[in-house]
Amino acid sequence: FFAYPYILFVLLIMTVLGPGFRNVFIAIGILSWATYARLVRGTVLSIKTMEYIEAARAQGASDLRIIFRHVLPNSMAPVYVAIAMGIGGAIVTEAALSFLGIGIQPPNASWGSMISDYLSYFFAGRWWMELFPSVALVLTVFGFISFGNGLRDATDPKLKE
């Protein structure tokens, strides 16, 4: 999944499945799970080699206690950030698919289809019709990224003192 550009795979899946609300989420979900699985695996592998895990084992803690008391709390901060950025990326991907006409179809609203519909007005001198859905898209994605960073700062045990 990581060797080829994400958008090309999404376009390929959407070509096979066809346009529609459900198919957009299927295409994005099929390609997104590998990123989160890789992140969780890497985080857990690095945490399980930490000294406090070895100390908990030496004190006789069970595997379940180590997982729920030490591994999960310390591994969730990067996952929160990745999910927040992934939501932002999914919104941009959906907007791109709708802009190209293979995403969410009217009468359902999509910023990508709104930007595509108003593109002709942009060249006719009515740029504000294009501007508002574009700004809404950018601000929403920025909001999810900022939320993820704030959540990371609030939940990362390394930052608490």
pLDDT of residue 64: 93
In terms of CATH architecture, what is 6-159?
Answer: Orthogonal Bundle (1.10)
> Do residues 147 and 82 touch, judged by C-beta distance below 8 A?
no
Question: What is d(CA 23, CA 2) in angstroms, rounded to the nearest whole number?
Answer: 21
> Do residues 125 and 144 touch, judged by C-beta distance below 8 A?
no
148-156 average pLDDT score: 79
Name the least confident of 58-62, 84-88, 124-128, 150-154: 150-154
% of the chain beyond a pLDDT of 70: 95
pLDDT in tens, 36-87: 899 999 999 999 899 999 999 999 999 999 999 989 888 887 888 888 888 9
Is the model more confident about 119 or about 3? Answer: 119
First and final CA of the chain: distance in angstroms?
Answer: 39
Question: What is d(CA 102, CA 104) in angstroms, rounded to the nearest whole number?
Answer: 7
Instruction: Reply yes or no on whether the pLDDT at 160 is more than 70.
Output: no
pLDDT of residue 1: 60
Burial (CB count <10 Å: 0-12, 13-18, 19+), residue 24? buried
pLDDT in tens, 130-145: 899 999 999 999 999 8
Tokens in use for 122?
């942009």
How much is the pTM?
Answer: 0.82
